[in-house]
Amino acid sequence: MIVEYLGPLGYREAWRYQQKVHDLVLGGGEDRLLLVEHSPVITMGRRPGVAKNMVASAEQLAQMGVEVVETDRGGDITFHGPGQIVAYPIIRLANHQLTVGGYVHTLEDIVIATLVKLGFVGATKDAVAVGVWIPDGNALAKVCAIGVRIRKGVSMHGLALNVDTDLRYFELIVPCGLTGRGVTSLKKLAGDRVTEIEAVKKMLVEHFCARFG
């Protein structure tokens, strides 16, 4: 697997690059993992009725400098922004004997293994909500959102792990369309323990490479 660190990059530019890499992998190139940190953006998936989960007005979005993009991934609505690790694996599922559902669960497993290695206990899946959840106070909160698209057997889009993300942005939406479910970050969970985004990124890459080579 080729790992590319794209650094800070606008969502639309990263999406165009994903499409380019997708064509390369589809044509026989090696699997790739793209890592990026987006400027503030709300993305909407293909799920019907997703627009109703936008809480903010156009004026609020403009004041906070948040872009809105309709995408071709699965899932509902979410936020990407600084302090968040966004990972886009571009892989041929058949090479790894994965169904679409199996691939999504593999992404969840990779994130959970990463968090456990970093000392965050209690990270788990939810039987009715895709993503990774972790205890925050008296309830489970989402720490990692997942939304993918599989085109011609090759994956696009991926996951977003909140490391040092400003959680106030999530108040602009109903995250993933799940009313009453919280969103958290590793920084919020860590307390006084320092959580460096580069250390989290390194561990995440190690687990991706261990699974996909």
What are the residue numbers of the active site?
176
Tokens of 187: 């920084």
Rounded-to-integer distance, Cα 148 and Cα 36, Å? 16
Give the closest residue to 163 by CA, choosing from 126, 201, 137.
201
Using CA atoms, how far apart are residues 168 and 188, in angstroms rounded to an integer? 12
Instruction: Indicate the DSSP class of residue 177.
Output: G
Strands (E), the chain: 2-8, 32-37, 41-44, 67-70, 77-80, 84-90, 124-126, 129-136, 139-151, 154-162, 182-183
